């Protein structure tokens, strides 16, 4: 074999092996979290994760108890019956707006059956009308996978970034 090709081969293969290891760790952590979620008490509520991206009007993700985050929906809140926990005046000098980014809540209410357009992301999102919020966790960690990267400039966290929960055979 040509000895000049060995460093090139190493540069290609080593990152691939590292990615496989990272994927396996993500899958193991997702499976562990899914087992915790499966034990959640069922009821007439949703589990919500506040997800704030500046200049957007969505609230975050909602899923039903016992359902994984893969099933979560990004929603716009209709605050006519109940304000969201961070509802304060929105202006650049207010450091408390969206203070609860990544907090987890038990959210009571219902989907209205209507959709709203979020112009800064070009997304058509379901509208949820909350009646009550209960804070569950102020530091729940990652949302969809442990290696996810939160970006304040774009919607970088979506259920589609979750790997399948089984690793393909090598």
Per-residue pLDDT of the chain (170 residues; tens, 9 = 90+): 556 655 544 544 444 444 456 788 889 999 999 999 999 999 999 999 999 998 899 999 999 999 999 999 999 999 999 999 987 666 566 566 678 999 999 999 999 999 999 999 999 999 999 999 999 999 999 998 898 888 888 888 888 777 776 444 44
Distance of CA 140 to the CA centre of its chain: 11
Pairwise CA distance, residues 160 & 144, whole Å = 9
C-beta separation of 118 from 77 below 8 A = no
* Residue 25 domain flag: no
Would residue 126 count as lying in a domain? yes
| Residue 24 belongs to a domain | no
Domain-located, residue 10:
no
- Rounded Cα–Cα distance for residues 8 and 18 (Å): 16
- Return the H-helix or E-strand segment holding 30: helix 5-38
Q: Output the pTM of the full model.
A: 0.80
Q: Does 169 reside within a domain?
A: no
Whether 21 is in a domain gets the answer no
Kindly report the CA angle at 149 between 144 and 153, in degrees rounded to 5? 115
> Looking at the 3D structure of the chain, how many domains does it have?
1
| Residue 86 forms part of a structural domain | yes
Domain that holds residue 137: 40-159
User: What pLDDT does 160 receive?
Assistant: 77
Query: 34 in a domain, yes or no?
Result: no
């Amino acid at each position: 074999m040509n000895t000049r090709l060995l460093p090139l081969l190493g540069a290609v293969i080593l990152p691939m092996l590292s990615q496989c290891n990272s994927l396996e760790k993500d899958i193991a952590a997702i499976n562990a979290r899914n087992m915790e979620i499966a034990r959640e008490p069922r009821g007439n509520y949703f589990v919500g994760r506040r997800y704030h991206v500046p200049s957007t009007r969505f609230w975050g993700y909602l899923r039903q108890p016992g359902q994984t985050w893969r099933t979560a929906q990004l929603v716009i809140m209709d605050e006519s019956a109940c304000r969201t926990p961070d509802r304060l005046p929105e202006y650049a000098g207010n450091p408390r707006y969206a203070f609860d980014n990544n907090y987890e809540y038990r959210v009571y209410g219902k989907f209205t059956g209507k959709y709203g357009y979020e112009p800064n992301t070009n997304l058509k999102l379901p509208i949820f009308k909350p009646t009550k919020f209960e804070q569950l966790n102020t530091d729940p960690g990652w949302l969809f996978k442990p290696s996810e990267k939160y970006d304040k400039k774009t919607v970088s966290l979506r259920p589609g970034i979750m790997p399948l929960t089984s690793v393909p055979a090598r």
